[in-house]
Amino acid sequence: MDFEIVTMRVAHILAGVIWAGSAIFLAAVLDPRLKALGPDVQRKVMASLAAALRVVLEGGATVTILVGLALVIRMGRFDDLLDTGWGWAMMVGLVTSVLALTSGVAATSTWKRAAGAGGGPSTPEGAEADRLSARATLLARSTAVLVIIAVGAMASARFV
């Protein structure tokens, strides 16, 4: 058993599970429930979760991508990237992961801005906060879809 490769796989898969699981939970469970509870509750909860979300989403994404790239190199398969089905699956995983990290960063910072916009209903600040939180919802959904594609690419890589 190659201890180094196994350790890297565990680190990669664990970080990926934490990242993808949180992104999907956020978009599919938490965000719709918070919306149903109204903008006040939604903004308060998202503002208090912002720092933790940064660690889980951005930290998880960074570890997943960096250890994933290190795995490709350590497995000696860098030249396979554009040359085999496995390599193309890795490329799909890499591109969707980078896009998911980008939209995840945009979602958390948009939520932060929405929480800071304040203002009650029927005020310009309130309308701006609503617009920002609608955009954050869209970004969170895009992130979830992108990580699902990345997981699919990873899981099928060795069979294509």
Report if residue 28 touches ligand HEM, rule: CB under 6 A.
no
Question: Is 68 an interacting residue with respect to ligand HEM (CB under 6 A)?
Answer: yes
27 counts as binding ligand HEM under rule CB under 6 A? no
Pick the closest to residue 105 from 153, 40, 59 (CA basis).
59
CB of 52 to ligand HEM, least distance (A): 19
Out of 97, 133, 137, 143, the only residue in the binding site for ligand HEM (CB under 6 A) is 97
Is residue 16 a contact residue for ligand HEM (CB under 6 A)? yes
- At position 128, the amino acid (one-letter code) is E
- Rounded distance between C-alpha atoms, residue 136 and residue 123, angstroms: 20
By CB under 6 A, residue 56 contacts ligand HEM: no
20 binds ligand HEM (CB under 6 A): yes
Q: Is 7 left (phi over 0), alpha (psi -120 to 50) or beta?
A: alpha
CB 50 within 8 A of CB 112: yes
Task: Give least dist CB 16 to ligand HEM, A.
Answer: 3
Name the one residue in this structure whose structure tokens are 């890795």: 90
Tokens encoding 104: 């995840």
Q: Choose among 38, 48, 33, 28: nearest CA to 111.
A: 48
CB 101 within 8 A of CB 65: yes
Instruction: Tell me how far, at minimum, the Cβ of 129 lies from ligand HEM, in Å.
Output: 30
Residue 14 binds ligand HEM (CB under 6 A): no
Residue (109 or 156) nearer to ligand HEM, CB? 156
Give me the residues that bind ligand HEM (CB under 6 A), please.
12-13, 16, 19-20, 64-65, 68-69, 71-72, 75, 90, 93-94, 97, 147, 150-151, 154-155, 157-158
